Chain A
Amino acid sequence: MASSGSSGSDDPDRDLLARVAAGDHRAFAELMRRHESRVIGLCSRLLDDREAARDAAQEVFLKVYRKAAGFRPRGKVYTWLYRIAVNHCLNRLRRRRIVRFLPLGEIKDPAAEEPAFEPVDEGPDPARRLAARRRWQATRARIAALPPGQRAVLVLARFEGLRYRQIAQVLGISEGAVESRLFRAMRTLERAQEVEG
């Protein structure tokens, strides 16, 4: 889980980011090494598409490089990084929704798209692997059905392990709004599960 606290005075990424702002590529590589797994995971879960997630994560790090000089120490670097990633993915999701409404062109069937995750080998038991795949598939489908705002809150809480306060900082909303979105997301997930039977 991400560490809490927003003072950022003990943030080890702060110096690294200052070096990135000065054009230090080694510092940038180190910053990526520390956060690439989180950023790619977050993009994968929000976008539900492996290639799109890879592109998005790449764009996120390019933005980080460009904006490093403009970082103002109001919070932790990872909060800032998450904000860039979430905003980038939400913009992509909104564009994707608009594209779905367009009558022209070939529309991809979401169900036929490549899964966002490579299932890991859970051991020699094929039945267990199959059951795990089914659970992941069901989770992906339910999360994909959520509106982008609810999806972001749910992913940050459930899979990134962020507290309400941290999610509020990342998304730039109040803690009350985080709670409301989670509440609505849970209701939506429950209805979806009831429909599935």
Chain B
Amino acid sequence: MKRRTDRAIPAADERLLLRLLHGELPPDETAALERRLEGEPALAARYRRLAELWHGLELPPAAVPVDFRRDVLRAVERRVADDGTPAPAWLRLAAAAALLVGLGLGVGLGRLGVAAAGEQESWPVLVDEAPTLAERYWQSLEASGGRLGPEEPRR
């Protein structure tokens, strides 16, 4: 638990220690902090602890896999063959603009078509020509000479 008590220094000081450890402090601040480290054992202990932790992080160098470069170059060639030569930026922009204009035109024309269809539905042309049931009744009544019911067979 001794290590936990090492941490009981202000966070601002700990940040300074880390900057010192990482070589990020300007020379004047480095000198000032080093003077403090000589006079403050708790601060010095914390610095040693952080340094131990930092330098204790060890990893071996990663080796480049055999044929890595060759594999990447082949992958590039494959992809270039699949994709073809990429179009220049202006051409892609023009294509996108044309697509947007086309979409806009399509939507506009679609709306016009719907409006026209709507007009036809609200003003059906055939309604004047088609006799209603009542008209047909009166027409048949006139034809029968004013008699109601089915026409009597002529004798």
Interface residues of A (CB under 8 A from B): 23, 25, 28-29, 32-33, 36-37, 40-41, 44-45, 53-54, 57-58, 61-62, 65-66, 69, 116-120, 132, 135-136, 139-140, 142-143, 154, 157-159, 163-164, 179, 182-183, 186, 189-190, 193-194
Contacts and interface: CB of A to CB of B under 8 A. Distances in A.
Given A179-B19, A183-B14, A120 B61 contact: yes
Interface residues of B, number: 36
**Dominant SS at the A interface?**
helix
A154 B68 CA distance: 26
B53 interface: yes
Contacts, number: 103
**Dominant SS at the B interface?**
helix
16 contacts: A32-B73, A36-B64, A37-B62, A40-B65, A58-B71, A62-B76, A62-B79, A65-B76, A66-B79, A116-B62, A135-B56, A135-B58, A159-B57, A179-B19, A183-B15, A193-B53
B58 A45 contact: no
Contacts of B60: 117-120, 132, 136
B62 A44 contact: yes
Contact of B69 (A36, A136, A163): A36
A194 B56 contact: no
